[in-house]
């Protein structure tokens, strides 16, 4: 195609809908080289898109398929239509061109690269252009002058963030083109999806939204796509070659060469944005797996980059490109990227940069940094940035199994060493807190970096550290107070002991990130101290415990914060309680909730004898008699739900089914059954659940799932506290928000091939909280749940029948017509034990699909029937949970066609094949079908088995094609082509098999025989129930008019007769096709096969008009195809003989009129009418 400068008059003639102003602007808005870079038709398209944008001031996106090529190669239009080797055909993929016109905004090129990559476009070439400033009155002369002055902002950023340019002063327009391979979309589908997403982001920017928020969304999409792409980590670390020179246009030209990897452009453009560098122009080229891109870059003022910035940018481009491929490890990818840039700047300015730079190309270091940098503001601000020079070498350690935190058994000796180095009380307190903060930081490192360490590791390490810190603070405070006031003694002169107890998470050894440390201080007797300044024991212990608490300093709210609110009288009571006060309060005054809290009471330190005495008193107070009022607890719980939850917002702790419901319910059961079973009198919730299971109160399966729910809820609460740096705000973000995705990352979820991390978190939250609600319903008659609690389908599945009446509205909301039948279907699908829990999780995922399908009743009923035919319904559910696209296809089949549903139910082994998006979403070639049919029948022992397998194959393919048609709404032409390819394959396969069964002397005659198809098969228009009209033609062995012999005709007739039988005979597995031979010469009275010369003479001299009409669709389908095409090349000219075309048209018109006239007037016939 010839590259040419566009001409105004020609464009004006060919694009009459464009205004003269818009045409003139297009022809003057870009530099000269731009106009020499495209063909005239390409200029027309770009001019049309620019005019569309200027008319509507909305982004214009155009996507078109421009050919097919091998993935990884730059598209070359000069060779786009070249024939390729048949063996390479399956490697060739659709190449798309994407052109985008919009106002220019800072960082927009990076956004587009990220968005296109996240949607699956593997960019292999492109050109990025920016116009001069536009205003409705811009003249060509003004545009040219403006271009000469272009040294101002193009795509500008500030300090790692972004700034929005006021459109009133700057109205540049981008005209960007990208080309690449695309998976999973047609051009129209991709254009619609890209337009919608880009327009939403664009509007946010245009309305003044913070660009960082837009960038954060795109970055999260990129991270999810990277997780799905599964880029090999070593491939991401390929070096890049960067060369630079000053450009004659101003600015700096950068040439970058490297191995191609996904999101390469996004990574590089992000590095430019983070360094406040404007992208002026880009040329993108890919050769195989090698990329060569050119960037024109400038400072915000339009000047070239100085050497210092350029050197920094080259290093940053290298490191940022490598780091980008590990963003899927980060809970908050965008925050991780910004912090990495800050860390990189610190490293490059460090005197140790020579040692640190190689470590930043270590894949383990990059992966660990991604996890840490995107995890917590607290970790970043207080530890990582301050200690980066020490942290990076630490992460590069040889062993992946090493632990950063100290073993609990070694904590005391480590702390003692630190305290021994301090020489006074104040420095000892400082040493204690430094040790606490450092060890807390290391525990967080282990928990974040080691995926094999779950919440119980975190809680056990934090609890061990908290116990040591509390005990040490008490020892330091005791020494300090004893020096002032002496030792507290009874009236008899005996030293008064004290004991410290943990409550809540501290008592249950279940501390998490930012958990309060809930303590209760008890001393034994009143009296006075024996020092030179004696005070009452009551005052001493208040001062003593207060001093100890003040020794434990909190860097942030909730991080190792001591909570004394569970003491007698709460905040209104004294910090320390005497034994008598403790006994009197809990016997006479305590609320049922306060007594319930004593279930998790655990001795921490102090006098062991006093500790045992207090715990015995606790047992008498709590486990003897009716110690708690369930009505009081229910009232409290309802009040919590009112005050600490909000409509349409889920709270991990206080919403129905949250952590509080689980903790309260288990503690109530401990009190109820702990009267007779002392083993239940222990503070650990998971241990208590095991004991309840051992005694038969709950089933082992329920105990396992409640422990899992407890671990999950604690993990979510930890994640929320890390996300927000706030121990109190435990509301979950909106499900589809970036914050929800970040929470999922902090909770350890990762994006799979089909299910995002956020979606996985949502499914688990709904299922785990339903598990808790079911537990409350079955054990406490739902007393703790609000009467108007609205559940999900998981509640309907998990809650026992007597208690699930409140959840039946779930069925009516889903628009089931027969709710009783639907409930029975759900019960049958649920089964028992583990299958029930597996289906409960899947049901959350499936519910949206079910209630939005055409017939949810039919879909659910068919699903139940299908699941009952599978070897393991539980495995079936788990697989669908991992591959939701299969679930969508499955529900579509069950709701869309009873015929397809019955086929799948009777052939459950077809499930994998028919629900594979890669198979069901595309047209399959004859080559692919033949290879699969050959593989399927390779073990066929005899003719009957081969026929059975061909029928199984056809049934499976019909199911796949029907699924494409009804469920995925494939184009009718594609469906007909699929059906025709299937028929072609089966006819050819059976014909080949027939020849192989003939005697060896006859087998070589297969090259002289061809089967042709008339009608719908010949025209590649076959439908599901079409007959196939076949014709057998052979080439005689000899030459001349007398070459035909009875022997030849008998041979080929037997082959054709056998073919018809193999296709149409009804077996236990049905038949393949009804074969119609009536379109052959002389119809049913004619021979089955014809010599080619004889057939030609017939059509030339004897055939009727309708037979000539049938020739229009005749096509060779099996045997020697070249023989068939030779026959058609000789037969088709007969159609052009004098007057035949006109006769055919008249005949067709006559037949149509006759057919219509014979129809009853009140009847409509879709075929003949």
Q: What is the mean pLDDT of residues 922-939?
A: 91
pLDDT at 230: 58
1070: alpha, beta or left? (left if phi > 0; alpha if psi -120 to 50) = left
Beta strands in 914-1055 (DSSP E): 1009-1013, 1028-1034
Q: Which residue has the higher pLDDT, 806 or 176?
A: 176
Rounded CA gap, 896 and 856, in Å?
10
pLDDT at 946: 94
Rounded CA gap, 508 and 460, in Å?
10
211 shares a domain with 66 = yes
pLDDT at 209: 66
User: What is the Cα gyration radius of the chain?
Assistant: 39
Residue 1000 lies in a domain: no
Instruction: Tell which of 376, 402, 428 closes a domain.
Output: 402
pLDDT at 753: 67
371 shares a domain with 237 = no
pLDDT at 949: 95
285 shares a domain with 342 = no
Contact between residue 857 and residue 822 where contact means Cβ atoms under 8 Å apart: yes
pLDDT at 1087: 85
Q: What's the N-to-C CA distance of the chain in angstroms?
A: 48
What's CA 595's distance to the chain center, in Å? 45
SS3 assignment, position 733: coil
**Of the listed ranges 148-162, 384-398, 828-842, 893-907, the one predicted with least confidence:** 148-162
pLDDT at 1153: 66
SS3 assignment, position 856: helix
312 shares a domain with 194 = yes
Decide if pLDDT at 917 tops 90. no
Q: Distances from the Cα of 312 to the Cαs of 341, 347, 357, in angstroms?
A: 11, 11, 13
Decide if pLDDT at 273 tops 90. no
What value, to the nearest 5°, has the Cα angle with vertex 503 and ends 498 and 509?
Answer: 110
297 shares a domain with 271 = yes
Q: Quote the DSSP letter at residue 888.
A: H
How large a percentage of the chain has pLDDT more than 70? 89
Rounded CA gap, 1013 and 1032, in Å?
9
Residue 588 lies in a domain: no
Query: Which residue(s) pair with 528 in the sheet?
Result: 489, 536
Rounded CA gap, 20 and 25, in Å?
8
Comparing C-alpha atoms, which of 346, 325, 347 is closest to residue 336? 325
* Residue pLDDT, tens place only, 57-113: 899 999 998 876 655 444 444 444 443 444 444 445 678 999 999 998 888 888 999
Q: Which domain holds residue 180?
A: 57-325
356 shares a domain with 279 = no
The secondary structure element, H or E, covering residue 97 is strand 92-103
DSSP string, 312-352: HHHHHHHHHHHHHTTGGG-SSHHHHHHHHHHHHHHHHTSTT
pLDDT at 725: 75
Beta-sheet pairing, 1075-1076 with 1028-1034? parallel
339 shares a domain with 278 = no
Task: Report residue 1029's pLDDT band, with 50, 70 and 90 as the boundaries.
Answer: very high
Rounded CA gap, 1033 and 1013, in Å?
11
Q: Which residue has the higher pLDDT, 79 or 426?
A: 426
344 shares a domain with 289 = no
Q: Which residue do the tokens 């030609």 mark?
A: 1096
Task: Report residue 973's pLDDT band, with 50, 70 and 90 as the boundaries.
Answer: confident
pLDDT at 820: 93
pLDDT at 1139: 57
Q: What is the mean pLDDT of residues 406-424?
A: 94
Instruction: Tell which of 300, 325, 350 closes a domain.
Output: 325
Identify the burial level of 1039 via C-beta atoms within 10 angstroms of its C-beta, where 0-12 means exposed, 13-18 middle and 19 or more buried: exposed
Residue 680 lies in a domain: no
Q: Which residue do the tokens 């192989």 mark?
A: 996
pLDDT at 79: 41
* Residue pLDDT, tens place only, 462-489: 999 999 999 999 999 999 999 999 999 9
pLDDT at 1141: 64
Helices (H), ranges, 422-454: 425-449
1123, 1125, 1126, 1129 alpha-carbon torsion, rounded to 10°: 160
Query: Which residue(s) pair with 181 in the sheet?
Result: 95, 122
Q: Quote the DSSP letter at residue 963.
A: I
318 shares a domain with 391 = no
Residue 580 lies in a domain: no
Structure token digits, residue 643: 């005050």
Instruction: Tell which of 293, 325, 357 closes a domain.
Output: 325
Decide if pLDDT at 153 tops 50. no
Phi, psi of 381 (to 5 degrees): -75, -40
Contact between residue 74 and residue 124 where contact means Cβ atoms under 8 Å apart: yes
Q: Which residue has the higher pLDDT, 648 or 101?
A: 101
SS3 assignment, position 846: helix
283 shares a domain with 157 = yes
133 shares a domain with 153 = yes
Beta-sheet pairing, 498-502 with 517-523? antiparallel
Phi, psi of 803 (to 5 degrees): -105, 0
pLDDT at 159: 34
Residue 761 lies in a domain: no
**Of the listed ranges 316-330, 519-533, 577-591, 1056-1070, the one predicted with least confidence:** 316-330
* Residue pLDDT, tens place only, 1057-1101: 999 999 999 999 999 999 988 777 877 777 889 998 888 888 888
Q: What is the mean pLDDT of residues 955-984?
A: 91
Q: Which residue has the higher pLDDT, 675 or 1141?
A: 675
Decide if pLDDT at 985 tops 70. yes
371 shares a domain with 231 = no
Identify the burial level of 684 via C-beta atoms within 10 angstroms of its C-beta, where 0-12 means exposed, 13-18 middle and 19 or more buried: middle
pLDDT at 489: 95
Rounded CA gap, 813 and 811, in Å?
5
Phi, psi of 261 (to 5 degrees): -140, 155
Rounded CA gap, 1146 and 842, in Å?
61
Rounded CA gap, 95 and 912, in Å?
29
Q: Which residue has the higher pLDDT, 710 or 738?
A: 710
Task: Report residue 400's pLDDT band, with 50, 70 and 90 as the boundaries.
Answer: low
Total domain count for the chain?
Answer: 2
Contact between residue 58 and residue 100 where contact means Cβ atoms under 8 Å apart: no
Q: Which residue has the higher pLDDT, 920 or 154?
A: 920
Residue 245 lies in a domain: yes
Q: What is the mean pLDDT of residues 401-408?
A: 85
Residue 21 lies in a domain: no
Tell me the pTM.
Answer: 0.80
Contact between residue 950 and residue 930 where contact means Cβ atoms under 8 Å apart: no
DSSP string, 664-677: HHHHHHHHHHHTT-
Report the sign of the C-alpha dihedral through residues 354, 356, 359, 360, in that order.
negative
Q: Which residue do the tokens 């058994």 mark?
A: 409
pLDDT at 436: 93
Comparing C-alpha atoms, which of 1112, 898, 1090 is closest to residue 1014? 1112
Report the sign of the C-alpha dihedral through residues 389, 391, 396, 402, in that order.
positive
How large a percentage of the chain has pLDDT more than 90? 46
Residue 204 lies in a domain: yes
């Amino acid at each position: 195609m010839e590259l040419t400068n566009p001409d105004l008059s020609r464009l004006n003639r060919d694009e009459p809908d464009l205004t003269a102003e818009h045409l003139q602007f297009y022809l003057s808005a870009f530099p000269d080289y731009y106009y020499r870079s495209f063909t005239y038709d390409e200029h027309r398209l770009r001019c049309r898109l620019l005019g569309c944008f200027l008319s509507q001031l909305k982004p214009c996106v155009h996507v078109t398929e421009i050919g097919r090529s091998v993935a990884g190669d730059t598209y070359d239009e000069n060779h786009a239509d070249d024939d390729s080797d048949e063996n390479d055909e399956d490697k060739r993929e659709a190449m798309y061109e994407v052109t985008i016109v919009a106002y220019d905004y800072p960082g927009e090129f990076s956004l587009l690269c990220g968005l296109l990559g996240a949607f699956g476009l593997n960019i292999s070439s492109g050109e990025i252009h920016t116009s001069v400033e536009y205003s409705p009155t811009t003249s060509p002369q003004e545009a040219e002058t403006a271009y000469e002055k272009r040294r101002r902002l193009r795509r500008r950023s500030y300090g790692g963030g972004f700034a929005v340019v006021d459109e009133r002063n700057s109205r540049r327009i981008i005209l960007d083109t990208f080309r690449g391979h695309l998976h999973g979309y047609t051009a129209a589908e991709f254009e619609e999806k890209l337009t919608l997403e880009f327009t939403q982001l664009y509007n946010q920017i245009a309305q003044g939204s913070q660009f960082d928020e837009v960038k954060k969304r795109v970055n999260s999409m990129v991270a999810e796509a990277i997780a799905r792409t599964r880029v090999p980590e070593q491939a991401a670390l390929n070096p890049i070659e960067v060369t630079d020179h000053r450009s004659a246009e101003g600015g700096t030209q950068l040439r970058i060469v490297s191995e191609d990897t996904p999101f390469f452009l996004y990574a590089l453009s992000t590095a430019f944005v983070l360094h406040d560098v404007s992208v002026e122009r880009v040329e993108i080229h890919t050769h195989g797996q090698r990329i060569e891109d050119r960037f024109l870059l400038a400072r915000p003022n339009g000047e070239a980059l100085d050497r210092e910035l350029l050197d920094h940018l080259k290093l940053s481009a290298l490191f940022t490109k490598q780091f980008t491929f590990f963003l899927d490890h980060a809970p908050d990818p965008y925050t991780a990227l910004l912090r990495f840039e800050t860390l990189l700047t610190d490293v490059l300015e460090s005197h140790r940069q020579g040692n640190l730079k190689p470590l930043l190309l270590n894949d383990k270091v990059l992966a660990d940094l991604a996890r840490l940098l995107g995890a917590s503001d607290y970790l970043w601000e207080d530890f990582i940035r301050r200690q980066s020079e020490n942290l990076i070498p630490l992460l590069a350690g040889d062993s992946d199994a090493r632990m950063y935190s100290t073993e609990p058994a070694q904590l005391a000796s480590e702390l003692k060493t630190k305290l021994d180095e301090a020489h006074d009380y104040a420095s000892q307190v400082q040493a204690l807190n430094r040790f606490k903060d450092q060890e807390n930081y290391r525990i967080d490192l282990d928990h974040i970096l080691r995926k094999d360490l779950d919440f119980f590791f975190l809680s056990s390490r934090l609890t061990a550290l908290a116990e040591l810190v509390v005990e040490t603070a008490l020892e330091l405070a005791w020494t300090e107070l004893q020096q002032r006031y002496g030792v507290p003694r009874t009236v008899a002169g005996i030293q008064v002991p004290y004991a410290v107890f943990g409550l809540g998470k501290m008592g249950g050894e279940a501390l998490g990130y930012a958990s309060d440390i809930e303590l209760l201080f008890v001393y034994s007797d009143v009296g006075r101290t024996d020092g030179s300044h004696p005070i009452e024991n009551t005052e001493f212990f208040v001062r003593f415990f207060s001093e100890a608490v003040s020794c434990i300093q909190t860097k942030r709210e909730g991080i190792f914060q001591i909570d004394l609110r569970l003491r007698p009288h709460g905040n209104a009571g004294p910090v320390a309680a005497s034994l008598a006060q403790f006994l009197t309060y809990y016997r006479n005054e305590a609320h049922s909730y306060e007594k319930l809290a004593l279930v998790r009471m655990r001795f921490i330190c102090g006098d062991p004898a006093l500790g045992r005495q207090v715990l015995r008193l606790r047992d008498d107070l709590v486990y003897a008699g009716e110690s708690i009022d369930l009505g009081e607890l229910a009232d409290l719980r309802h009040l919590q739900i009112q005050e600490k939850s909000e409509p349409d917002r889920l709270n991990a702790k206080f919403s129905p089914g949250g952590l509080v419901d689980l903790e309260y319910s288990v503690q109530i059961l401990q009190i109820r059954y702990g009267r007779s079973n002392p083993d239940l009198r222990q503070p650990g919730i998971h241990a208590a659940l095991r004991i309840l299971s051992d005694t038969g109160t709950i089933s082992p399966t329920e105990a396992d799932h409640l422990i899992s729910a407890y671990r999950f809820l604690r993990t979510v609460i930890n994640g929320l506290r890390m996300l927000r740096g706030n121990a109190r705000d435990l509301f979950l973000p909106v499900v589809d928000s970036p914050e929800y995705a970040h929470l999922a990352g902090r909770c350890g979820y990762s994006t799979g091939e089909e299910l995002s991390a956020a979606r996985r978190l949502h499914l688990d939250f709904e299922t785990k909280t339903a598990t808790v609600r079911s537990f409350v319903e079955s054990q406490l008659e739902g007393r703790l749940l609000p009467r108007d609690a609205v559940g999900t389908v998981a509640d309907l599945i998990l809650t026992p029948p007597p208690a699930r009446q409140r959840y039946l509205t779930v069925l009516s909301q889903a628009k089931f017509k027969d709710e009783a039948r639907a409930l029975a279907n759900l019960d049958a699908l649920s089964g028992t034990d583990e299958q029930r829990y597996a289906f409960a999780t899947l049901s959350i995922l499936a519910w949206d699909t079910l209630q939005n399908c055409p017939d949810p009743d039919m879909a659910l009923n068919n699903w139940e029937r299908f699941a009952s035919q599978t070897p393991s319904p539980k495995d079936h559910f788990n697989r669908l949970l991992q591959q939701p696209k299969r679930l969508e296809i499955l529900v579509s089949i069950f709701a869309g066609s009873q015929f397809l549903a019955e086929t799948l139910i009777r052939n459950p082994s077809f499930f994998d094949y028919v629900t594979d998006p890669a198979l069901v979403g595309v047209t399959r070639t004859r080559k692919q079908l033949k290879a699969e049919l050959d593989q399927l029948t390779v073990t066929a022992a005899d003719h009957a088995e081969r026929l059975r397998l061909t029928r199984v194959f056809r049934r499976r393919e019909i199911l796949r094609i029907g699924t494409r048609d009804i469920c995925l709404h494939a184009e009718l032409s594609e469906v007909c082509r699929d059906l025709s390819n299937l028929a072609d394959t089966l006819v050819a396969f059976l014909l080949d098999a027939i020849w192989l069964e003939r005697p060896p002397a006859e087998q070589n005659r297969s090259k002289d025989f061809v089967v042709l198809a008339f009608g719908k098969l010949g025209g590649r228009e076959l439908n599901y129930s079409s007959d196939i009209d076949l014709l057998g033609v052979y080439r005689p062995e000899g030459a001349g008019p007398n070459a035909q012999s009875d022997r030849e005709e008998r041979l080929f007739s037997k082959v054709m007769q056998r073919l018809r039988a193999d296709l149409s005979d009804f077996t236990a597995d049905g038949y393949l096709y009804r074969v119609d031979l009536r379109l052959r010469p002389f119809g049913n009275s004619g021979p089955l096969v014809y010599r080619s010369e004889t057939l030609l003479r017939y059509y030339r001299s004897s055939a009727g008009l309708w037979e000539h009409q049938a020739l229009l669709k005749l096509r060779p389908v099996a045997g020697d195809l070249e023989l068939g095409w030779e026959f058609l090349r000789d037969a088709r000219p007969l159609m052009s003989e004098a007057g035949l075309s006109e006769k055919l048209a008249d005949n067709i018109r006559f037949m149509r009129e006759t057919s219509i006239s014979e129809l009853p007037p009140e009847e409509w016939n879709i075929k003949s009418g």
